[in-house]
Amino acid sequence: MAIRSLIINPGSTSTKIGVFDDEKQILDKTLRHSTEEIEQYPNIYSQKDFRKQMVIDALKEENIEISSLNVCVGRGGLLKSIPGGTYAVTDALLNDLIHPVQGEHASNLGGILAREIGDSIGVPSYIVDPVVVDELEPVARISGVPEIERVSIDHPLNQKAMARKYAKSVGKKYEDVDVIVVHMGGGTSCGVHHNGRMIDVFAALNGDGAFSPERANGLPALALVNLCFSGKFSYEEMKKKIVGGGGFNAYLGTNDMREVNKMCDEGNEKAKLIREAFIYQICKNIGACATVLKGKVDQIILTGGIAYGKNVTDAITERVEWIAPVTVYAGEDELLALAQGALRVMNGEEAVKEY
């Protein structure tokens, strides 16, 4: 009999839900939340009951009995740094989602809602590969400034799911392949996967690696220090320049790669330069990651929304295919990745981890 899972992936203004029978998706729905609705609540956690009721109502509308669920899975939030895997939503994990240790984010609600709904019907609740997965080797943590340690906060859910997908396609396990995975979305990340762990990464959030549609990422350090102390910008304004207002947004006024491609097609020389610089920096990241594996790379995987653009993936492939073959898995199927994480535990393929 198939294992039926409810998947909950909260965002700032929406809650994506899915229902799977094993890996077959029978429901895919995005519940939208207006700004007015969200602004009623003083913090993320206080939205819990509102979002939970919307999830339950959506299941009823689709004639899916809540009692038919075997497991509830939520998107993990800003917890303490942990190794990758599928984690039971224990009391300790739940407490750190409610009282976030690395900041508030809507994704914190994923595990909270999974636990509450799961408990109400007596089934287990899990999170899978949250953004705080950190499996860096000790040598990869050194930054050059003792007060600053390199950490991993990026796209482990999609990175690991795509690495597993490739491994399965060649008849191997994730633990048996050495791959470089490049996630290209609103943020970018370039990860090195070795022996089932992401041992190094150019991380999307903390200002590392290639710029992205919304983020500045790797910047000349002294120039950044000078800008910070120029008196022209507040602390919050500088943060916005780096995360949210950087990258394509700063140069071209858009975070949509489709718009950038349209500008290029219309002959916009600045857009062409910025797009080429993005591709150039991604390729430099891939090259650097290849050295971590001493050049022994089984595959380079390009994923995320930008990977739908053949002009971008072809240009990256042209620069890096001498390192290893390139596979494109465009987009990101986070709901399926979460369901697969629960299935691996429910089917006994891997042990559940405790926070």
Each residue's pLDDT tens digit, 141-190? 999 999 999 988 889 999 999 999 999 999 999 999 999 999 999 889 99
- Is the pLDDT assigned to residue 205 strictly greater than 90? no
Least confident window among 94-103, 155-164, 174-183, 223-232: 94-103
The dihedral through the CA atoms of 289, 278, 77, 238 has a sign that is positive
State what percent of residues in the chain have pLDDT above 90. Answer: 88
d(CA 279, CA 310): 12
Strand-pair partners of 299:
179
Closest CA to 29 of 64, 53, 58, 57: 58
The stretch 305-312 carries a mean pLDDT of 95
- Cα separation, 248 vs 255, in Å, equals 6
Cβ(121)–Cβ(69) below 8 Å: yes
Which class is domain 4-133+334-346? Answer: alpha beta
How many Å apart are CA 22 and CA 130, to the nearest integer? 21
Check residue 29 and give its pLDDT. 96
Q: How far apart are CA 27 and CA 68, in angstroms?
A: 14
Identity of the residue numbered 181? V
Enumerate the domain spans of the chain.
4-133+334-346, 156-330
Identical fold, 4-133+334-346 and 156-330: yes
**CATH fold for the domain made of 156-330:** Nucleotidyltransferase; domain 5 (3.30.420)
| Sign of the C-alpha dihedral computed for residues 192, 144, 82 and 9 taken in this order | negative
- Residue 315's nearest CA partner among 268, 276, 274 is 276
- pLDDT (tens digit per residue) in 259-302: 999 999 999 999 999 999 999 999 999 999 999 999 999 999 99
* Those residues with Cβ within 8 angstroms of residue 245's Cβ, 6 or more apart along the chain or in another chain: 214
- pTM equals 0.92
Report which of 351, 354, 332 is spatially closest to residue 156, judged by C-alpha positions. Answer: 332
Neighbours of 65 (CB within 10 A): 10
